Amino acid sequence: MDPQTVFCPNLDCAARGQVGKGNIGIHSHKERRYICHLCRKTFTETQGTVFYRLQTAPETVTVVLTLLAHGCPLQAIVCAFRVDERTVKEWLTRAGEHCEQVHAQLVQQPRDLGQVQADEIRVKLQNAVVWLAMAMQVSTRLWLGAVVGTHRDEALLTALMQRVRACALCRPLLVCVDGFRAYLGAIRNVFREPIPPRTLGRPTLRPWDGIHIAQVVKQYAHGHVVGVLRRIVQGPERQVQALLQETQDGGVINTAYIERLNATFRARLAGLVRRGRSLLHQTATLQVGVYWVGTVYNFCTAHDSLRISLSVGRSGRRHWVLRTPAMAAGITDHLWTVHELLSYHVPPSHWTPPKRRGRPSKATKALIKQWC
C-alpha cells in the first residue's frame, strides 16, 4: 500500500482527485483501507475500481472479463467457472462503465489526429437491429469511441463525430468514410466553433480550417464488389495526399483500417451478441460491451504493425518492442494488463468551492489557497 499514489475519492473533500499531496495515510493494513486526513473519511483500496465490494476473487473476475473481451461465448464461461449468467452480466456492465470513464479521461484528450476513419456496422440483437458507429485514428490505430443507435442516420453520425472532436486538436484533419451522404452534414455540423458575438443573440459558427473529407464508394453487383470510387469531398487534393502519406503506407484514400477494426469487434462481440440466451438484449448492454472490448483493444492489445525496433547495447543488436494503440498515441508507456485496467482509479475533477453569497470565510479561503 502506497499512500503517495492514492487520491481521496470523497466528492465533498477539497483534496479530491489529487495525488501525492500528503493528505492520505494508511488506516488499516489488514483491511487495506486508507484515510484522508483532510476530511477524516476512510476508504478501501478497491473503491472506484471494478473490484469494489465484489464477492468473487479479483483473479476470477479478471479472467472471465478477459475471455469476454476476446469473444468467448457466455455459455462456456458459465459452464467453466460455475457462475450465474446475471453475475457475469453485472461484471460486464461494471467493466464497460468503468472503461467509458477511462476512455473519457485518457483517450478523449485533444491530439493531432492526422487521419481518422469512421464506419458503421449493423448488429442484430435478440429482437432488434441496431447500428454501431465507430472511429479510429489511423497512424496509432487508436479506437476513438463508438455510439449505438436504432437508426443509421445523421443523428448517429453527429454523435460519433462529437466523440472524434473530443479527441481532436484544431489541426489539419482528414476524415475517410464510406459513401453515406449523412457523414458530410455530421462532420460539417460538429467541426465548427462560435465566434465571440459583438451584439446580443446567437453567435455565428465558423467551420474549422483544415477539415478534409474523403469518401470510398463501393459498387456492388450480386453481392460482390465490382468497383471502388474514391473521391475528395472537401479540401484541396495536395493536402489530402500529404495527410495520407503522413499517416499510412501508400497514399490511397481507403477505409481499410476501420474495416479491419470492425472485423475485430464483430469477432469479439460475437460471444456477447449471440442469439438465444444472449447477454445483450438491450442497446445499453451493447454499449458497455463495446466499451469493454474497445478499451482492452486500446490498452491491453499489442499490434504487430505498431512495433518498433530498438538497438540494444554497443553491439547494435536490434530487438522489437511491441506497442499498443495507447502506447503509440503517447497515453501510456507500457502494455497494460487487464487487471491493471480494471483497477485503474479515474480521478474526479478538482474541487471547486461551493457558490455562496458574500465573502468566503477564512477557512474556505485557506482551502481554496491550498487545493484549487
Q: Which residues bind Zn ion (CB under 5 A)?
A: 8, 10, 13, 15, 36, 38-39
The distance of closest approach from Cβ of residue 164 to Zn ion in the complex, given in angstroms and rounded to an integer, is 36
DSSP annotation string for 84-139: -HHHHHHHHHHHHHHHHHHIIIIISS-B---EEEEEEEEEE-SS-EEEEEEEEETT
The distance of closest approach from Cβ of residue 36 to Zn ion in the complex, given in angstroms and rounded to an integer, is 3
Single-letter code of the amino acid located at 370: Q
Nearer to Zn ion, 36 or 306 (CB): 36
Q: Copy the grid coordinates of residue 73.
A: 461465448
The distance of closest approach from Cβ of residue 15 to Zn ion in the complex, given in angstroms and rounded to an integer, is 5
Could you tell me if 297 and 134 are in contact, meaning their C-beta atoms sit under 8 angstroms apart? no
Nearer to Zn ion, 292 or 371 (CB): 371
Nearer to Zn ion, 13 or 286 (CB): 13
Can you tell me the distance from the alpha carbon of 329 to that of 327, in angstroms, rounded to the nearest whole number? 5
Nearer to Zn ion, 36 or 261 (CB): 36
The distance of closest approach from Cβ of residue 13 to Zn ion in the complex, given in angstroms and rounded to an integer, is 3
The distance of closest approach from Cβ of residue 8 to Zn ion in the complex, given in angstroms and rounded to an integer, is 3
The distance of closest approach from Cβ of residue 23 to Zn ion in the complex, given in angstroms and rounded to an integer, is 6
Could you tell me if 114 and 174 are in contact, meaning their C-beta atoms sit under 8 angstroms apart? yes
Contacts of 242 (CB under 8 A, 6+ apart): none
- Residue 321: count other Cβ atoms within 10 Å of its Cβ: 12
Nearer to Zn ion, 15 or 69 (CB): 15
Could you tell me if 160 and 133 are in contact, meaning their C-beta atoms sit under 8 angstroms apart? yes
Nearer to Zn ion, 60 or 370 (CB): 370
